[in-house]
Amino acid sequence: MTPRSYWTAVWCGFLVLTIGLGVRQSFGIFLKPVSAELHVGRELFSFGTAVSMLLMGAVAPFSGRLADRFGSAPTIAGGGAVYVLGMIVTATMHDGFMLILGNILVGIGLSAATFGPVLGVILRVAPPAKQALAVGICSAGGSFGQFFIVPLAAVLQSYFGDWRPTMWALTILAVLIMVLPIGLNDRKEIAASKKGSGGSQTTREALAEAFGLRSYVLLVTGYFVCGFHVAFVGGHLPAYISDKGIGLSLFGIELTPIELGGWAIGMVGLFNIAGAILWSSMGGRYKRKNLLTLLYLLRSLVFLGFMIAPLSAASVLIFAGSLGFLWLGTVPLTTSLVGFIFGPVHVTMLNGIVFFGHQVGSFVGGWGGGLLFDLQGNYDTMWWISIALGLVSAAMHWPIVEERLPRAAALQPA
């Protein structure tokens, strides 16, 4: 693929992640109004989003296998169609059953239209010397979605005074996920990588090789914590700020607590645009496993600072910016590390399995936040759990051995 065409793939992937993850992250804006209208507790809403996260990960290895075999473009477009169907169900829901069904479809759709298949394209089409930067820029699309779409959803919610028109607007935006994969064609690269490997390694052999490697198991397990953090903060921070009644008045601009919550999630996304690019760029110069260790350790320190500092609009925005710098820096580091160790042939499937570990964490973090709130009336326990898990994940990434397997080294030069 020429330099011009691989950058086309990078920017198309950027937009797919912007829309897919931005719309999904905006669901936290709807937690309170949907729970009130449908007469369900926060636990059921949180359970629905958690099921979506879990399915997003559980189906990811199968979506990855489809992308590895038939190409990423049709896989991502198909996932976009299922995603839109789930959004339609969500926008028209009137009971708990439709809430769960909509989230199930959104989760299945996103499994094929998120980091695994999209970054799999970038790892195949970008030259080795440019992979770190290309993956970082593409990954930042998810962060830009948070920065742009989540605050937009909060503003629309305040403008309409009703969550349904806002949900329909997001549904229309999601239709673009079905169109953008036209720039994500990697069939030639898939055929070339299979020819280079002699087509000798089967899916079963690739799985046995991966799970026989301690470092891969540590990556899968450690990624659980990233998912826990992302789902808890993304799903519950707006409601947490609203519960505390913290608004913002600055230069004559008044932000309600729910709008401040939306802007806080947007701040996370804004700072992670720079964070994702910087962390991935450092991943091209330093050992990625060491950077991941540092990143999770810093997350725990940021959570701790937020817990012990007096709560105010300023502390919320400082927390959001600090966490944003660390938010999805894990994605390019983890994804490129899997590609580095195992090579390109089964990279989307193997990254899909790692992503499943992430989404199990998302399930626990998203649902657990709602469950503990309904039981305790606050989120205090979840904040302390987040601190502890960051330390655990840092300890798990430190012993990872960052070396290419001989088979992968033969396929792609360092």
- Determine the Cα–Cα distance for residues 129 and 413; give it in Å rounded to an integer: 10
Q: Is 240 inside any structural domain?
A: yes
Q: According to DSSP H, which parts of 92-130 are helical?
A: 96-111, 115-125
> In the structure encoding, which two tokens stand for residue 19, read together?
């829309």
Q: Are 28 and 265 in contact (CB under 8 A)?
A: yes
Q: Are 291 and 283 in contact (CB under 8 A)?
A: yes
- Which secondary-structure segment (H or E) carries 253? strand 253-255
Specify the pLDDT at position 169. 95
Specify the pLDDT at position 192. 60
Tell how far CA 25 is from the center of its chain: 9
Specify the DSSP class assigned to residue 310.
Answer: P
Q: Is 301 inside any structural domain?
A: yes
**DSSP structure string for 316-339:** HHHHHHHHHHHSSTHHHHHHHHHH
Q: Is 193 inside any structural domain?
A: no
Specify the pLDDT at position 3. 52
- Determine the Cα–Cα distance for residues 341 and 404; give it in Å rounded to an integer: 4
Q: Is 386 inside any structural domain?
A: yes
Q: Is 189 inside any structural domain?
A: no
Half-sphere CA count of 33, side-chain side, radius 13 A: 19
Dihedral (C-alpha) 288, 289, 291, 295: value to the nearest 10 degrees?
A: 130
The percent helix, strand, coil of the chain (3-state, each to 5) is 85, 0, 15
Specify the pLDDT at position 406. 73
Specify the pLDDT at position 307. 93
Q: Is 51 inside any structural domain?
A: yes
Specify the pLDDT at position 196. 55
Q: Are 123 and 11 in contact (CB under 8 A)?
A: no
CA angle 14, 20, 24 (to 5 degrees): 135
CATH number for the domain harbouring residue 143: 1.20.1250.20
Q: Are 60 and 352 in contact (CB under 8 A)?
A: yes
Q: Is 401 inside any structural domain?
A: yes
Dihedral (C-alpha) 322, 327, 333, 336: value to the nearest 10 degrees?
A: -150
Dihedral (C-alpha) 363, 270, 34, 15: value to the nearest 10 degrees?
A: -80
Residues in the chain with pLDDT values less than 70: 1-4, 186-200, 250-252, 407-414
Q: How many domains does the chain have?
A: 1
- Which secondary-structure segment (H or E) carries 194? helix 187-196
Specify the pLDDT at position 161. 85
**Paired strand residues for 249:** 254
Q: Is 197 inside any structural domain?
A: no
Q: Are 86 and 21 in contact (CB under 8 A)?
A: no
Specify the pLDDT at position 414. 44
Q: Domain containing 129: what range?
A: 3-183+202-411
Phi, psi of 255 (to 5 degrees): -110, 125
Q: Are 373 and 379 in contact (CB under 8 A)?
A: yes
Does pTM top 0.85 for this prediction?
A: no
